[in-house]
Amino acid sequence: MKRFLKLYRIEQKLALRSGDMLIFGVAMPVGIMILINMIAGSKQATEGFTYLQSSFASLIAVGICAAAFMGIPLTIAEYRDKKILKHFFATPCSPLWILGSDVLCAGVTALLSALSVAFVSIVFLGYEMRGNALAFMGSWLLTLVSMFSIGLLMASLCRTIKSVNAVTTLVYFPMLFLSGATIPYELFPSGLQKLADVLPLTQGIKLMKAVSMGAALENVWEIVVLLLGITAICTGISVKTFRWE
Partner 1 sequence: MSTCIEVKDLTKSFNGRTVADKISFRVEKGEVFGLLGHNGAGKSTIIDLLLGLKKPDYGSGTIFGLDPSANRKAVFKRVGVQLQSSNYQNNIRVDELCREMSALHEKCEDYHKLIKFFSLEKLEKSKVNKLSGGERQRLSVALALINNPEIVFLDELTTGLDAAARREVWGHLKDLKKKGTTIFLTTHYMEEAESLCDRIFLIKDGRKVTEGTVKSIIESSPYENLEEAYLWYMGEEVAQ
Specify whether the backbone of 180 is left (phi greater than 0), alpha (psi in -120 to 50) or beta. left
- List the one residue from 12, 31, 45, 88 that touches partner 1 (CB under 8 A): 88
- 21 with 70: CB under 8 angstroms? yes
Interacting residues with partner 1 between 12 and 41 (CB under 8 A): 13-14, 17-18
Under 8 Å CB-to-CB from 224, ≥6 apart: which residues?
Answer: 142, 207
Interacting residues with partner 1 between 67 and 86 (CB under 8 A): 78-79, 82-84, 86
Should residue 162 be labelled a site residue for partner 1 when binding is judged by CB under 8 A? no
d(Cα 192, Cα 60) in Å, to the nearest integer?
22
DSSP reduced 3-state for 27: helix
Measured from the CB of residue 97, what is the shortest distance to partner 1 in angstroms?
A: 7
Residue 6 or 194: which CB sits closer to partner 1? 6
Measured from the CB of residue 80, what is the shortest distance to partner 1 in angstroms?
A: 11
Helix (H) or strand (E) holding 62: helix 51-66
- List the one residue from 4, 49, 188, 242 that touches partner 1 (CB under 8 A): 4
Measured from the CB of residue 155, what is the shortest distance to partner 1 in angstroms?
A: 15
CA distances from 122 to 19, 126, 186 (A): 25, 5, 24
d(Cα 161, Cα 142) in Å, to the nearest integer?
28
- 77 with 158: CB under 8 angstroms? yes
Measured from the CB of residue 243, what is the shortest distance to partner 1 in angstroms?
A: 11
Q: By rule CB under 8 A, what string of x and - marks binding of each residue 93-132 to partner 1?
A: x---x-----------------------------------
Residue 19 or 41: which CB sits closer to partner 1? 19
- The binding site for partner 1 (CB under 8 A) comprises 3-4, 6-7, 10-11, 13-14, 17-18, 78-79, 82-84, 86-93, 97, 244-245
